[in-house]
Structure 1
Amino acid sequence: MADTTETGYAKPVGVSRLAETNFELKWPQSVRQYSRMVREDAQVKSLIKGVTLPPQRTTWRIDPNGADVARVQLVAEDLRLPVLGDDGSNPVSSSGGHVSWQEHLYWALQSLTYGVMFFEKVYKIVDGRDRLWKLAPRMPDTIAKINIADDGGLESIEQNPRPGARDAKPIVIPVERLLVYVHDPVVQDWTGTSMLRPAYKHWVLKDQLMRLEAQVLERNGMGVPVYTTANPEDREELDRGQKLAAGLRAGSEAGASIPFGAKLEIAGTKGQLVSPREAIDFHNREITKAGLAHVLNLDGKGGSYALAETQLDMFIQSLQTIGEQIATVANKYLIEEMVDIAFDSTGGPYPRLVFDPIGSKKELTAESLSILTNSGVILPDKDLEEEVRRRYSLPPKRPLPNQTEDS
């Protein structure tokens, strides 16, 4: 018989050579930095929206995968998702819990920003079965410690004490009650790597350049006031002139009064003025590359359509991978557990969480609909007619005189 004892370890010991070297980006300091990047920078916000909205936009379903009907129905109800192959005639009911996969997906995708997102699984007995009642986000800024086993597996997390709590002990949540999404792990420390990590230095330099650009415009847009005194020996006049020049600002009522013989002029910049705008645009482009979102850099100034198509295809593939990673974690650590707990069983087959390929949802035009109906791909019926009337703001159908509605 083969020896199945694990002899090695995966838990980082001391300072790992693979660990983050920037103190500001080490957990938990990184949470504040990445939240600032998303909150303060439009390009970073655009990147995050670009990679999180498409997975939310696509349709998620429960694939029966050969599982018993009762198991499929339980999972669909608790996650509020339709069943694959359902024509919509059977609306999804709910066990009364507070879980919605669509809402949960939004928070799960926050792992792209912070590197990891923790959720506490809460069950409640409904009609004699343990049903998933809540998937409560445990936000990164509340996590005080992540406890890891020697084999690299997660043991528990510790949250900071509740604000105002008399008992100042941390709240320990064991791994059995956790659902964890980790993005791009490098070290087995369960903190992951933010998608914004490669964009950090570009964000810092861009911020400095934008401040510099504002100073350049303020200082050189009007020019520099220069005061020449009429009497170089009069120190008081020189001081008054310095104060006048320093306080001079452009405006509809701006003006100055100076002694006879003195001179006040606006000196413009000599030579070529260096603009930081090109450098700012460069860092903007580099920020989007952190998420393979090169398509956000297309400015309509021409270029290769083939290159743009390649960039778009690569971006969609990255989004598809993100969705598959989310689904894999949910299938393995949530849906299988939901079934085993509810039915006091172990072993499959289990229902599976699936989603439509990202980017496959297209808006159907009237011309396309006409082609599909004329070719017999789509058979027009009452529901289709009502949807077409609603979409194109047409009045509701009314029966003609001496004609019933179904005629």
Structure 2
Amino acid sequence: MAESNAVPVGEKGYQADVGPWGLDDELEKTPELQWPRNIEVYDAMRRQDAQVVSVLRAVTLPIRRTTWRIDPAGCKPEVAQMVAEDLGLPLLGQEAVDTRRTKGRFSWDEHLRMALLMLTFGHSFFEQVYQIDDTGRARLRKLAWRPPRTISRIEVAADGGLVAIEQDGISGKDAPRIPVDRLVAYVADREGGNWLGQSLLRPAYKFWLLKDRLLRVQAQTVDRNGMGVPIYEAAPLPDGSTMNADEAKRRQKEEIEHGLQLAKGFRSGDAAGAAIPNGAKLELAGVKGQLPDATEPIRYYDEQIARAVLAHFLNLGTETGSWALGSTFADFFTMSLQTVGKTIADTTTQHVVEDMVDLNFGPDEPAPKIVFDEIGARHPATAEAIRALLQYGAIRADDELEKHLRQTYGLPAPDPTTARETPAPAPTAEPDPQRGGAGVPDPSRHQR
């Protein structure tokens, strides 16, 4: 076969310049947002600013709240059951049944919460840890989170693949190196060999920074001008004073120094007061003219922070002035959440579920996959909806349904000793052919 027609089995180009950091340092031009300094910045943003906290919770809570399941996807029942047990998730089409204690077992809810930190920091790494059970199978014990602030080095191959990560050494021990076959890497918006990802807060950084500065100025403005600035004016020399010029200058300097201390120590309060020499003046001077209002710029910065994650509905009532566009904003936002959830599901399926199947059943065994209920697709189970479902045979009444309805509507538990028979349905009217509609009830069809 000619070389030009040869099957390409190797790579000539590259995605990442071979090195420890990937591409992030080269692309990020803001010094404080270059890794690893950006970890401290994003951590401060998510802990200090109310709007940033609201934005992150708006993104993460619906993903955490939806139901996650194991889809067998045609694999063997024992394979799907093992994966479901280890991850603590129900199988698709079945309810979760697990009476065992949760202490010391893997928690999917906790893992999902930590995995979603990739949105804050751009990445979230986990180390797989297994234990061997009595049958000789490798069972998942934990996915141990490796905090971004502890990661000191990321090895990336020329083709963009992840090789390993290293953490800072502690207590005199060597820096631990975790190879990729033991890693689970959740990375937001990865491009090429950039395994650091991009934080969801990156576009909001400048607005957060300007807002933070403006809040400090606003607080200082209120503090300085709410009461006014104390100004002390020294008393003039008494008439007929015999002091020479040097003595008068020294006396005036001493009085001004004492007056400055008095002005600096002046505070408002029930016991506040001051004593000054005869002829001296102490007054509270405010700013002449109108003080700058920082409310509008601060509101604008909050709106831009919400825009960074398509959370426009957080601005309703301020940015748009009404709730008219709420459903449109929510649709776009929900689609973005679906995308984030799919990223989590695909990564966990490839690097957790398939690894578990490989270890226990071999690389040729079909593996199940992780799926989740569509976010925002749940409908309230109203009494009218349940009645219609029962009437048309879509569902059948059973003990579990009754238990659920009693709990939902706050009804007491059933008492078999006082239970009454369900009354017969009311007689239906027989259609009257001559009138083309419903007629009168037929008494011959019902016994009195």
**1:402/1:344 CA distance change after superposition, 3 Å:** closer
TM-fit CA distance, 1:393: 3.4
1:44 aligns with 2:52: yes
TM-fit CA distance, 1:96: 9.3
Aligned match for 1:70, one of 50, 72, 78: 78
Distance 1:24 1:188 in 2: 21
Give SS of 1:337's match: helix
The equivalent of 1:393 in structure 2 is 410
The letter for the 1-side match of 2:111 is: H
Distance 1:306 1:9 in 2: 49
TM-fit CA distance, 1:128: 2.1
**1:369/1:197 CA distance change after superposition, 3 Å:** same
With 356-365 and 278-287 compared, the bigger mean Cα shift is at 356-365
The equivalent of 2:432 in structure 1 is none
Aligned match for 1:291, one of 309, 326, 343: 309
Instruction: Provide the TM-score with structure 1 as the length reference.
Output: 0.90
Distance 2:382 2:273 in 1: 62
Distance 2:18 2:69 in 1: 42
1:230 aligns with 2:232: no
With 284-293 and 366-375 compared, the bigger mean Cα shift is at 366-375
Distance 1:13 1:24 in 2: 24
The equivalent of 2:287 in structure 1 is 269
Give SS of 1:136's match: strand
TM-fit CA distance, 1:364: 3.4
TM-fit CA distance, 1:103: 1.6
The equivalent of 2:129 in structure 1 is 122
1:218 aligns with 2:184: no
Provide, for residues 312-336 of structure 1, a one-character-per-residue CA deviation record: whole Å limited to 9, x for no partner.
1111111110000111111122212
Distance 2:299 2:204 in 1: 13
Q: Is the contact made by 2:18 and 2:158 (CA closer than 8 Å) also made in structure 1?
A: no
Distance 2:419 2:300 in 1: 70
Give SS of 1:198's match: coil
Q: Is the contact made by 2:316 and 2:322 (CA closer than 8 Å) also made in structure 1?
A: no
Distance 1:137 1:362 in 2: 35
Unaligned runs of 5+ residues in structure 2 are 1-5, 238-247, 422-448
Distance 2:418 2:332 in 1: 57
Aligned match for 1:383, one of 394, 400, 405: 400
Unaligned runs of 5+ residues in structure 1 are none
- Once superposed, what is the RMSD of the aligned Cα atoms? 2.6
1:335 aligns with 2:353: yes
Give SS of 1:197's match: coil
Distance 2:349 2:304 in 1: 35
TM-fit CA distance, 1:371: 5.1
4+ runs deviating over 6 angstroms: 92-97
Distance 1:12 1:365 in 2: 58
**1:366/1:3 CA distance change after superposition, 3 Å:** closer
The equivalent of 1:154 in structure 2 is 162
The equivalent of 1:176 in structure 2 is 181
The letter for the 2-side match of 1:209 is: L
Provide, for residues 38-89 of structure 1, a one-character-per-residue CA deviation record: whole Å limited to 9, x for no partner.
111111111111111111000000111111111111111111100011155x
The equivalent of 2:271 in structure 1 is 253
Map of 1:130-141 to 2, 5 A cutoff? 130-141=138-149
The letter for the 1-side match of 2:219 is: A
**1:187/1:244 CA distance change after superposition, 3 Å:** farther
**1:259/1:100 CA distance change after superposition, 3 Å:** same
Give SS of 2:283's match: strand
With 305-314 and 225-234 compared, the bigger mean Cα shift is at 225-234
Aligned match for 2:113, one of 84, 106, 125: 106
Distance 1:401 1:344 in 2: 59
Aligned match for 1:319, one of 323, 332, 337: 337
With 387-396 and 323-332 compared, the bigger mean Cα shift is at 387-396
**1:98/1:87 CA distance change after superposition, 3 Å:** closer
Map of 1:76-91 to 2, 5 A cutoff? 76-87=84-95, 90-91=97-98
With 115-124 and 364-373 compared, the bigger mean Cα shift is at 364-373
Q: Is the contact made by 2:316 and 2:323 (CA closer than 8 Å) also made in structure 1?
A: no
Distance 2:57 2:323 in 1: 24
Percent identity reads: 46
Q: Is the contact made by 1:319 and 1:358 (CA closer than 8 Å) also made in structure 2?
A: yes
**1:356/1:229 CA distance change after superposition, 3 Å:** same
Distance 2:365 2:101 in 1: 25
Q: Is the contact made by 1:115 and 1:192 (CA closer than 8 Å) also made in structure 2?
A: yes
Distance 2:404 2:147 in 1: 41
